């Protein structure tokens, strides 16, 4: 049977990192918290990187941030496509106007020749 992962609360992680900041050694805090020193390094790095947003719980916050970023990229791509299609439509309309002008002027010329 596989071992289940232990889950630590935000308060527990912050308390462990706070003990490190108060001068306790990495090994001492790791033994007291019954976690690997690498885990403490990761927690300290996370707290420095994300501040109050660190340890938001089961990665949901970062997953939501990634989803928002993905949707923003999609909106940006769609905005570019809309701009491109708008320019294409303008070009088509300009060509139709030019074609209408040349058709009209050529039809009046031919009628004058007769």
Report the CATH number at residue 47: 1.10.10
Residue 27 domain-assigned?
Answer: yes
Q: CB under 8 Å, gap of 24 or more: what pairs does 103-109 form? A: none
Residue 2 domain-assigned?
Answer: no
Average pLDDT, the chain: 86
DSSP 35: S
User: Of 8, 71, 60, which is closest to residue 34 (Cα–Cα)?
Assistant: 8
What are the pLDDT digits (tens) for 61-73?
Answer: 667 788 899 999 9
Residue 13 domain-assigned?
Answer: yes
Instruction: Write down the pLDDT at residue 82.
Output: 97
Residue 23 domain-assigned?
Answer: yes
Residue 45 domain-assigned?
Answer: yes
Residue 21 domain-assigned?
Answer: yes
Residue 90 domain-assigned?
Answer: no
Asked if residues 55 and 46 have their Cβ atoms less than 8 Å apart, the reply is: yes
Count of structural domains, the chain: 1
Question: The domain containing residue 19 runs over which residues?
Answer: 8-55
- What is the pTM (predicted TM-score) of this model? 0.48
Residue 1 domain-assigned?
Answer: no
């Amino acid at each position: 049977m596989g071992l289940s992962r232990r889950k630590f609360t935000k308060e527990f992680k912050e308390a462990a990192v706070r003990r490190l900041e108060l001068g306790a050694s990495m090994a001492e805090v790791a033994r007291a918290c019954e976690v690997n020193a690498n885990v403490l390094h990761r927690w300290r790095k996370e707290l420095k990187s994300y501040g109050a947003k660190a340890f938001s719980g089961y990665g949901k916050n970062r997953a939501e941030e990634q989803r928002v970023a993905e949707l923003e990229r999609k909106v940006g791509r769609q905005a570019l496509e809309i701009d491109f299609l708008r320019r294409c439509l303008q070009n088509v309309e300009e060509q139709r106007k030019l074609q209408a002008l040349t058709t009209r002027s050529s039809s009046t010329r031919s009628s004058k020749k007769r």
